[in-house]
Amino acid sequence: MQPWTSTALPQLPGQGPPLRLHDTAAGRVQPTAPGRTARMYVCGITPYDATHLGHAATYLAFDLVHRYWRDAGHQVHYVQNVTDVDDPLLERAIRDQDDWVVLGMRETALFREDMEALRVLPPRDFVGAVEAIGEIVEVVAKLLACGAAYRIDDPGYPDVYFDHRAAPHFGSESGYDTNTMIRLAAERGGDPQRPGKRHPLDALMWRTAREGEPSWDSELGAGRPGWHVECCAIGLNRLGTSFDVQGGGSDLIFPHHEFSAAHAEALTGQYPMARNYVHTGMIGLNGEKMSKSKGNLVFVSRLRADQVDPMALRLALLSDHYRTDRSWNTGMLDTAVSRLERWREAVARPAGASADDAIELIRAYLANDLDTVGALATVDAWATETLTRRAHDVDGPALVRTAVDALLGIAL
């Protein structure tokens, strides 16, 4: 798929300390140690209900990772998928009497527009599940051949499942116990109760064609792929094993990331699939969980249509730490609008406070597990000093404008 268009990324003088990120598997903040090219995979959307604020907050967090590595002189090989065939998409298409292909294309186009408006740097590879069917089939076929996958005992629909015991480190990404895993699998699209599986936890890899559902002919028989193997195939084929970051919302910790990692381990014999599993908090609305079932999703495109400045939205979503579960309210947007006005007023001054200390601090905060709260407060302090004291540094305003653009992605 065509990713969206990139905004220019200005260069800042100097660089900050190595980036440290919270790794779910290790349960602590640890340094990232990318090579010349940093490798990052972030799970993409299933294209319906795009782009709600939970989506936006997630891609903004990983945009900061992308920007920080670029600032540190790395190239970034960033891969993102689009789950453009899966149960939730098909269910939505049926509910709305829509064509699933048209629905997926329309929502993906909207997502691209939203990402561009929010100035998210695009992935190098933006890959739809449908266009990756061949490579997914190859992974499933190999796992079947080596006994890590099996056909379920169901003569009508002999779907292929992954035997989770084929991955020695299964469970190490989430750290959850078996009961928690079974509960979460049931809540998040898995089927622990389905008869004929070797173990309730085993996850679907290839769903045999059903009447009225899309399917593709393959050496596995006609069918369509499961979700976890989609990300495993797309990620490994572009980034190899042990890439630097796999990211997504905290609802992907299990089963999605656990199973993608387990497939990869069974396939390659290598562990881990990603060195850092990085997960973003959930966004609620006025104290409630934001979800499609509650019908209380807030969309980026709706706010844009209401003339909200995308930079204010970006700033509002960065104003709390990315791992915090948060509740959205319009007050957050109002605060961001005034903050943005103040920053813009300060960088428009012919001279300001010195930028050097501010930039060093912004980098230090971001390097510490993307502490945007600290980074934004640093810009606030610089703006206050510039606006309220006699400041003489003629380079200060332009440098801070560049830093806020390059590191935080906010155009002033």
Instruction: For residue 136, give both structure tokens.
Output: 């997914």
Only one of the segments 127-135, 224-232, 342-350, 358-366 lies at the binding site for Zn ion (rule: CB under 5 A); that segment is: 224-232
| CB of residue 42 to Zn ion, shortest distance in Å | 8
Only one of the segments 39-47, 173-181, 198-206, 316-324 lies at the binding site for Zn ion (rule: CB under 5 A); that segment is: 39-47
| CB of residue 23 to Zn ion, shortest distance in Å | 17
Alpha helices in 45-203 (DSSP H): 53-71, 87-95, 100-117, 133-145, 178-187
Would you say 149 or 231 has its CB closer to Zn ion?
231
Would you say 61 or 391 has its CB closer to Zn ion?
61
How many residues bind Zn ion (CB under 5 A)? The answer is 2
User: Is residue 139 within the footprint of Zn ion (CB under 5 A)?
Assistant: no
Only one of the segments 41-49, 191-199, 200-208, 294-302 lies at the binding site for Zn ion (rule: CB under 5 A); that segment is: 41-49
User: Is residue 231 within the footprint of Zn ion (CB under 5 A)?
Assistant: yes
User: Is residue 129 within the footprint of Zn ion (CB under 5 A)?
Assistant: no
Residue labelled with tokens 């908090």:
281
Contact between residue 285 and residue 327 where contact means Cβ atoms under 8 Å apart: yes
| CB of residue 244 to Zn ion, shortest distance in Å | 16
Beta-carbon contacts of 246 under 8 Å, excluding residues fewer than 6 positions away, are: 40, 41, 42, 43, 235, 257, 260, 261, 273, 274, 276, 277, 278
Would you say 204 or 231 has its CB closer to Zn ion?
231
User: Is residue 233 within the footprint of Zn ion (CB under 5 A)?
Assistant: no
Report the DSSP pairing between strands 326-328 and 203-208. Answer: unpaired
Backbone angles phi, psi at 393, to 5 degrees: -80, 110
Instruction: For residue 410, give both structure tokens.
Output: 């906010």
Only one of the segments 42-50, 267-275, 364-372, 395-403 lies at the binding site for Zn ion (rule: CB under 5 A); that segment is: 42-50
User: Is residue 127 within the footprint of Zn ion (CB under 5 A)?
Assistant: no
Query: What type of residue is 331?
Result: G
Residue labelled with tokens 């079947």:
144
User: Is residue 43 within the footprint of Zn ion (CB under 5 A)?
Assistant: yes
- Which is nearest to 60 in space by CA: 3, 4, 10, 120? 120
For 282, other C-beta atoms within 10 Å of its C-beta total 18
Would you say 43 or 185 has its CB closer to Zn ion?
43
| CB of residue 43 to Zn ion, shortest distance in Å | 3
Positions in the binding site for Zn ion (CB under 5 A): 43, 231
